[in-house]
A and B are shown apart, each in its own frame.
Chain A
Amino acid sequence: NNNSFWLQIHFVLLISRQGKVRLTKWYSPYSQKERSKVIRELSGVIISRAPKLCNFVEWRGFKVVYKRYASLYFCICNDQEDNELETLAIIHHYVETLDRYFGSVCELDLIFNFHKAYFILDEILLAGAMQETSKRTTLRLIGAQEDLVEAAKEEASSLSNIIAQATK
Chain B
Amino acid sequence: MEQLKTIGRELAMGSQGGFGQSKEFLELVKSIGEARSKAEEDRIVVREIETLKRRIVEPDIPKRKMKEYIIRLLYVEMLGHDASFGYIHAVKMTHDDNLLSKRTGYLALTLFLNDDHDLIILIVNTIQKDLKSDNYLVVCAALNAVCRLINEETIPAVLPSVVDLLAHPKDAVRKKAVMALHRFHLKSSSSVSHLVSNFRKKLCDNDPGVMGATLCPLFDLIALDPSSYKDLVVSFVSILKQVAEHRLPKSYDYHQMPAPFIQIKLLKILAVLGSGDKQASEHMYTVIGEIIRKGDSSSNIGNAILYECICCVSSIYPNHKLLEAAADVNAKFLKSDSHNLKYMGIDALGRLIKITPHVAEQHQLAVIDCLEDPDDTLKRKTFELLYKMTKSSNVEVIVDRMIDYMISISDDHYKTYIASRCVELAEQFAPSNHWFIQTMNKVFEHAGDLVNIKVAHNLMRLIGEGFGEDAATADNQLRSSAVESYLRIIGEPKLPSMFLQVICWVLGEYGTADGKYSASYITGKLCDIAEAYSNDETVKAYAISALTKMYAFEIAAGRKVDMLPECQSFVEELLASHSTDLQQRAYELQALIGLDARAVETIMPQDASCEDIEVDTDLAFLNGYVQQSLERGALPYIPEDERTGMVNVSNFRSQDQHESAQHGLRFEAYEVPKPPMPSKVATVSLSSSTDLVPVPETLYSRETHQISSAGLSSETGSSELKLKLDGVQKKWGRPTYSSPTSSSNSTSQNPVNGATQTTDVATAVNSKVRDNYDTRKQRIEISPEKQKLAASLFGGSTKTEKRSSTSSKVPKASASVPDRSQESKAAVAPSEVAQGKTIQSSPPPDLLDLDESTITVAPPSVDPFKQLEGLLDPSINSTTNHSSGVTNAPDIMTHYAATPASRESGSGGYSIPVTGDNVNLLSELSNAAVRGTTGETTTTPLPQSVKGPNAKDSLQRDAKVRQMGVTPTSQNPNLFSDLLG
Contacts and interface: CB of A to CB of B under 8 A. Distances in A.
B79 interface: yes
A166 to B, nearest CB: 15
Which secondary structure dominates chain B's binding surface? helix
B892 A99 contact: yes
B413 A102 contact: no
B908 interface: no
Given A29-B114, A60-B413, A136 B922 contact: no
A152 B98 contact: yes
Given A4-B220, A56-B343, A86-B304, A104 B891 contact: yes
Contact of A83 (B307, B342, B894, B910): B307
B758 to A, nearest CB: 32
A106 B847 contact: yes
B943 to A, nearest CB: 27
Interface string B611-644: 0000000000000000000000000000000000
A85 B979 contact: no
B29 interface: yes
Contacts of A58: 376-377, 380-381, 414
Given A58-B380, A85-B301, A88-B340, A148 B912 contact: no
A161 interface: no
Interface string B819-852: 0000000000000000100110101101111001
A89 B300 contact: yes
21 contacts: A4-B224, A29-B114, A50-B835, A51-B979, A54-B342, A71-B846, A84-B340, A85-B304, A85-B307, A93-B261, A105-B892, A112-B29, A116-B16, A130-B212, A130-B261, A131-B175, A134-B252, A135-B906, A137-B171, A137-B172, A152-B100
Interface string B168-187: 00011001100110110110
A102 B16 contact: yes
Nearest 5 A-B pairs (CB), nearest first?
A70-B921, A112-B12, A85-B304, A127-B183, A108-B8
B908 to A, nearest CB: 12
A135 B643 CA distance: 74
Contacts of B852: 18
B375 A54 contact: yes
A115 B114 contact: no
A67 to B, nearest CB: 4
Nearest to B895: A69
Interface residues on A, range: 35 or more
B172 A55 contact: no
Interface string A52-83: 11111111110000111111100000000001
Nearest to A61: B413
Interface stretch (B70-78, B496-504, B761-769): B70-78
Contacts of B264: 83, 86
B80 A36 contact: yes
A34 B268 CA distance: 32
Given A70-B892, A108-B8, A112-B11, A52 B979 contact: yes
A107 B33 CA distance: 11
Interface string A97-131: 01110111111110111111011001000111111
B9 A112 contact: yes
Interface in B300-356: 300-301, 303-304, 307-308, 311, 339-340, 342-344
Given A36-B80, A112-B16, A130-B261, 14 more contacts: A32-B77, A51-B979, A71-B890, A92-B300, A95-B893, A99-B910, A107-B848, A107-B890, A112-B8, A112-B21, A115-B71, A132-B209, A134-B208, A145-B137
Contact of B78 (A21, A50, A53, A100): A21
B586 interface: no
Of A48, A114, A132, A152, chain B has the most CB atoms within 10 Å of the CB of A132
A83 B344 CA distance: 9
A92 to B, nearest CB: 7
B601 interface: no
A115 B74 contact: yes
Given A54-B339, A115-B107, A132-B213, A39 B893 contact: no
B534 interface: no
Contacts of B907: 96
Interface residues on B, range: 35 or more
A148 B307 CA distance: 43
Contacts of B182: 127, 129
Contacts of B339: 52-55
A167 interface: no
Contacts of A129: 179, 182, 216
A165 interface: no
Of A1, A8, A95, A128, chain B has the most CB atoms within 10 Å of the CB of A128
Contacts of A92: 300
A7 B221 CA distance: 12
B893 A137 contact: no
A61 B74 CA distance: 29
Contacts of B844: 70
Contacts of B11: 106, 108-109, 112
Contacts of B920: 70
Contact of B839 (A3, A50, A133): A50
A67 B981 contact: yes
A105 B144 CA distance: 25
Given A112-B11, A127-B147, A132-B213, A39 B80 contact: yes
B377 A56 contact: yes
A111 B894 CA distance: 19
Contacts of B92: none
B395 interface: no
Interface in B707-735: none
Given A16-B846, A99-B910, A106 B891 contact: yes
A54 B375 CA distance: 7
